[in-house]
Structure formats: structure tokens, C-alpha cells
Amino acid sequence: MNQEKVLKTLLMPIVSEKITMLSSAHNQYAFKVRMDSSKREIKAAVEILLGVNVENVTTLIVKGKKKIFKSRTGSRPNWKKAMVKVSEGQIIDVSST
């Protein structure tokens, strides 16, 4: 894999109440990733950048919401979410990433 593409795969961590409960109970973390990234690239990026062992990667496309502003309709862009499960006993500090 191209090293530059691996470094640009992860865009930002997702921090919410639901993700915080998943991380404490099941060692799962969520990241916003590039739309063209594959599960293998996401796994490699997390292992290289954050230094943890990844067990499983699940991806999904989040559809953008339809919005109306001053009688004009539009939509927000679609984006890709990756749910990453790390090995038992390892943690990712999302507050510093």
C-alpha cells in the first residue's frame, strides 16, 4: 500500500455518547474516513498511526441529510464511517487524536 494514502485515510475520530459506551464495553472506536478507503487500508492506518492491534473493521456510508434554506433545497455530502475493534486490553485515546 502507498504510505501517503495510508496516512490520509483517517480524517477524524467520532466522539459521541454511543461510541463512548461501545469503546468501554466492546473496545470499538469510530472514525470518519475517506470515501475511497478500503477496510485493509483503514486497518493499516489505525495500526500504524495509533499503535494498536486491530481485530475487525466495519464500514458504512452515512447518507447526507436533505436541508432547506430560504426555500432552496440542498443536501449535505455523504461520508464514510469506520467502526474499528481493537484487541483486548488496548485503548485509543481519542481526545488527543
Does the global pTM surpass 0.95? no
pLDDT at 97 > cutoff 90: no
In the chain, % of residues over pLDDT 90? 77
Q: Is residue 63 part of a domain?
A: yes
Dihedral sign (CA 37, 14, 44, 1):
positive
Q: Is residue 97 part of a domain?
A: no
Cβ–Cβ under 8 Å, residues 41 and 5:
yes
The CATH number of the domain where 27 resides is what?
A: 3.30.70.330
Q: Is residue 92 part of a domain?
A: no
pLDDT in tens, 7-44: 899 999 999 999 999 888 999 999 999 999 999 999 99
Number of domains in the chain: 1
- Joined grid coordinates for residue 71: 426555500
3-state class (DSSP) for residue 81: strand
**Residue 82 structural domain:** 3-86
